[in-house]
Amino acid sequence: MSFRLRALVPVVLTLAVPLAAAWPSRAQDYPNHTIRFIVPFGAGGPTDVFTRALAEELRKSLNQGYLLDNRPGAGTIIGTTEAAKAAPDGYTLLMVSATQTTVETLSPSKPYKLMREFVPVAALLNSELVMVVHPSVQVNTLPEFIALAKAKPGTLNYASSGIGSNYHMAAELLKNLAGIDIVHVPYKGSTGARNDIISGQVDMMFDSVPTMAPMIEAGRVKALGTTGRVRSPALPNVPTLAEAGVPGYEATIWLGVMAPFGTPQPIIDRLNVEINKILARPDLAEAWRAEGANPMIMKPGEFGAYVQSEIERWARVIKANNIKTN
């Protein structure tokens, strides 16, 4: 080491000590102004609904206001890119889902990498999807739908909230396992897709159980199956796709919270503790399960490992089915 570098070392160390010591103090003062939640989906969808529920509970426990910033588009890339540009100070949080993990493979040229630009904060929930058809489609069961699709290949269509979305991947998995040819109709968000399945503009859609259950009860769509390992408590009379005729089928959605890389660990830890306290409450867990959502309690490291495993899992599905963004 040169004399000049040796001389600089004590200076660097001296500067580093007060900076490191400042993080616990900053965490103790956190939060002292509004927290922004970037939601890379449109208003009214499950991510938006459950983010609002979480943010409201955090408002009470942290005694601080919040802002929900809906930034839908480009399969979550628009909102996630916006979050990646934010200061790593704990005042901008990103809502992350399985969609972002599929985008890692589908859009390699996007301006960020999920596990490079962000750090895990906490998991939130997972939920089954439900496969629904418009009442005009002359089927009442999954085997009838598969039989119709095989009799008229390339005729039936399905809506999704965009290429690589949870809803798209669920349908592609069905196509692969059932050996059917149905046409993908991607939308810019789940709201448009949902409106068109209800109005009969498209034949079929996978959607979240909490969002679609009221439409099923009202008779505006017909449910053919749910996507979890066991039946959804919110739709106990609807079989899983695995028991209805597609053995081995499973596809669930999940939500969690991440923060820009560099966010101080004490702030990450505090948010994780506060969120997990909320998720552990029996009243909230019972209410969410009644809506088809299951709270997920994880430490930051556990959630990070889960997100990485999801990236790898969907990469295999995408490559096996030759799914592309164009």
Q: Among 2-11, 277-286, 288-297, whose mean pLDDT is lowest? A: 2-11
Q: Give the model's pLDDT for residue 313.
A: 84
Cα 120 to Cα 35, 78, 113, 145, 323: the distances in Å are 17, 19, 13, 40, 27
Question: In this predicted model, what pLDDT tens digit does every residue of 101-147 receive, in sequence order?
Answer: 999 999 999 999 999 999 999 999 998 999 999 999 999 999 999 99
Q: Give the model's pLDDT for residue 21.
A: 45
Q: Give the model's pLDDT for residue 323.
A: 83
Question: In this predicted model, what pLDDT tens digit does every residue of 25-80 receive, in sequence order?
Answer: 456 789 999 999 999 988 887 889 999 999 999 999 999 999 999 998 888 999 99
96 forms beta bridges with 256
- All structural domains of the chain: 30-127+253-320 (3.40.190.150), 128-244 (3.40.190.10)
Cα 134 from Cα 143, distance rounded (Å): 16
Cα 37 from Cα 23, distance rounded (Å): 22
Model pTM? 0.77
Question: In this predicted model, what pLDDT tens digit does every residue of 168-194 receive, in sequence order?
Answer: 999 998 998 999 999 999 998 788 999
Angle at which helices 265-279 and 300-320 cross, to 10°: 80
Burial 15-49 (b: 16+ CB within 10 A, else e): eeeeeeeeeeeebeebbeeebbbbbbbbeebbbbb
Cα 146 from Cα 28, distance rounded (Å): 57
Amino acid at 251: A
Percent of the chain residues topping a pLDDT of 70: 91
Q: Which residues contact 130 (CB under 8 A, 6 or more apart)?
A: 206, 207, 208, 209, 212, 213, 216, 223, 225, 226, 227, 232, 235, 238
259 within 8 A of 93, measured Cβ to Cβ: yes
